[in-house]
């Protein structure tokens, strides 16, 4: 116990000394540092914080030091995380490599793959993106049709991936591809690491109803990928993807909402309620209160999950509600504000609207994305009904 307390003290001291005060506030929109070969910083503190954490190996605190990690054990890692949270330190960078494919490579990758890819991730020097979803497959991930045909020492990849965040700024992609069209739906899938600089790769940003987005569609036209870039064995892609998605949920919960700064719900609601027409004010206030109570309840549920989980209770049923509740509550909150704001909520850009209200309109439209992306609300309800409530799976 003493050892861990010493560790905690040293972490706290280091963070106090090394995390610049300006990095202890939630980042404004678009101020996250994306890992990658073309790093950009909007201010010196950001770079300082990035480099200091990188040099500690704390981008990947629990990875072995040989791969550029921090070499911490699980307990030490938790201490570091809670100290970072306590000081409200910003995430020094965003990196799909470390959180997603990194752990999978650590567990399932070849020695060669580990040596080649992990250090770059751990130093934030390589930007990774995820190639899972496909146009036409939707929630049915395993229905993918992007083909990878064995040809000599290479696979030749043809097809398309969609909803790939920051594909246009990524160096590498981990992708699910169909290596055996004759095998079963799941059995024919493999996982490949694809260099985005390869000939035949092209990307196109997707415009959302809320405007420009970081989502892209990626096209593969006879892209040659060395067989050495196959993770695991042929046909193991689905198993690897499931292992990887378990990390996704952890990564999401670790970072919460920090990277989606919206409007301040209550602040804006108070201001708009005060301006509302007297006939509608009480009804709109009731809606605002319902949103606020739902959000309050959700926060209490997070706390309860944490506490009950810590006490050894099974909290998997609670965790299974998070994605659904979070995205649906978010949408309802923005719908409520939008109704409340009347014609002031109708601005797209330019003069005549204040900035907060322009942000509101975009965030309202953006909220529609979250009840679809990362497993639609319908999929979440299926999971709750079948896995949590134990109702029979009728395939519907």
Query: Which residues sit at the interface with its own copies, rule CB under 8 A?
Result: 281-283, 286, 394, 396
> Whole-angstrom Cα distance, residue 26 to residue 10?
24
- Report the SS3 class of residue 308: helix
> Whole-angstrom Cα distance, residue 325 to residue 38?
36
* Straight-line distance from the first to the last Cα atom of the chain, in angstroms, rounded to the nearest whole number: 51
Nearest CB to another protein, comparing residues 95 and 338: 338
> Whole-angstrom Cα distance, residue 382 to residue 348?
36
Nearest CB to its own copies, comparing residues 48 and 273: 273
Q: Which does 202 bind (CB under 5 to 8 A by kind): another protein, its own copies, none?
A: none
Nearest alpha-carbon partner for 257 in 363, 347, 337? 363
Partner residues linked to 160 by β-bridges: 219
Instruction: For residue 139, count other CB atoms closer than 10 A to its CB.
Output: 12
Nearest CB to its own copies, comparing residues 177 and 284: 284
Partner residues linked to 218 by β-bridges: 161, 203
| Minimum gap (Å) between residue 277 Cβ and its own copies | 12
Catalytic choice (248, 328, 356, 378):
248
Question: How do strand 128-131 and strand 172-178 relate by DSSP bridges?
Answer: parallel
Nearest CB to its own copies, comparing residues 343 and 394: 394
| Minimum gap (Å) between residue 25 Cβ and another protein | 23
CB-based contact 261:27 (threshold 8 Å):
yes
Check if 248 is active-site: yes
Q: Which does 231 bind (CB under 5 to 8 A by kind): its own copies, another protein, none?
A: none
| Minimum gap (Å) between residue 188 Cβ and another protein | 15
Q: Which does 18 bind (CB under 5 to 8 A by kind): another protein, its own copies, none?
A: none
**Six-digit token pair at 322?**
């998070």
- Looking up tokens 């799909």, which residue turns up? 96
Nearest CB to its own copies, comparing residues 28 and 396: 396
CB-based contact 384:325 (threshold 8 Å):
no
Q: Which does 138 bind (CB under 5 to 8 A by kind): another protein, its own copies, none?
A: another protein
Q: Which does 308 bind (CB under 5 to 8 A by kind): another protein, its own copies, none?
A: another protein
Q: Which does 361 bind (CB under 5 to 8 A by kind): another protein, its own copies, none?
A: another protein
CB-based contact 114:67 (threshold 8 Å):
yes
| Minimum gap (Å) between residue 287 Cβ and its own copies | 9
Tell me how far CA of residue 66 lies from CA of 95, 118, 127, 195, in angstroms. Answer: 19, 9, 20, 23
| Minimum gap (Å) between residue 67 Cβ and another protein | 35
| Minimum gap (Å) between residue 395 Cβ and its own copies | 8
Nearest CB to another protein, comparing residues 98 and 361: 361
Residues noted as catalytic: 248
């Amino acid at each position: 116990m003493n050892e861990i307390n010493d560790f905690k003290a040293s972490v706290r001291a280091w963070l106090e000394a090394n995390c610049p005060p300006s990095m202890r506030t939630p980042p404004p929109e678009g101020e996250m540092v994306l890992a990658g070969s073309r790093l950009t910083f909007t201010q010196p503190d950001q770079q300082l914080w990035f480099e200091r954490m990188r040099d500690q190996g704390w981008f990947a605190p629990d990875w072995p030091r040989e791969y550029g990690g921090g070499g911490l054990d699980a307990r030490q890692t938790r201490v570091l995380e809670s100290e970072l949270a306590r000081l409200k330190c910003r995430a020094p960078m965003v990196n799909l490599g470390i959180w997603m494919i990194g752990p999978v490579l650590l567990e399932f990758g070849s020695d060669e793959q580990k040596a080649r890819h992990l250090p770059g991730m751990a130093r934030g020097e390589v930007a990774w993106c995820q190639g899972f979803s496909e146009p036409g497959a939707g929630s049915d991930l395993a229905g993918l049709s992007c083909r990878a045909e064995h040809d000599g020492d290479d696979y030749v990849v043809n097809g398309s991936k969609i909803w790939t965040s920051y594909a246009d700024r990524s160096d590498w992609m981990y992708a699910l591809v169909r290596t055996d069209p004759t095998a079963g739906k799941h059995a024919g899938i493999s996982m490949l690491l694809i260099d985005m600089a390869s000939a035949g790769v092209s990307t196109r940003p997707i415009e959302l109803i809320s405007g420009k987005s970081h989502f892209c569609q990626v096209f593969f036209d006879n892209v040659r990928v060395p067989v050495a870039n196959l993770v695991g064995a042929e046909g193991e892609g689905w198993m690897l993807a499931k292992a990887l998605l378990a990390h996704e949920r952890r990564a999401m919960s670790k970072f919460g909402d920090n990277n989606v700064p919206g409007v301040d719900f209550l602040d804006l609601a108070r201001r708009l309620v005060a301006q509302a027409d007297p006939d509608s004010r009480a009804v709109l206030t009731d809606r605002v209160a319902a949103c606020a109570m739902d959000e309050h309840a959700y926060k209490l549920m997070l706390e309860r999950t944490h506490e009950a989980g810590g006490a050894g209770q099974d909290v998997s049923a609670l965790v299974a509600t998070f994605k659904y509740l979070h995205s649906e509550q978010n949408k309802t909150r923005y719908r409520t504000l939008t109704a409340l704001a009347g014609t002031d909520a109708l601005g797209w850009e330019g003069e005549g609207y204040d900035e907060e209200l322009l942000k509101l309109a975009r965030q309202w439209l953006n909220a529609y994305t979250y009840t679809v992306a990362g497993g639609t609300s319908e999929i979440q309800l299926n999971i709750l009904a079948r896995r949590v409530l134990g109702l029979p799976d009728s395939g519907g």
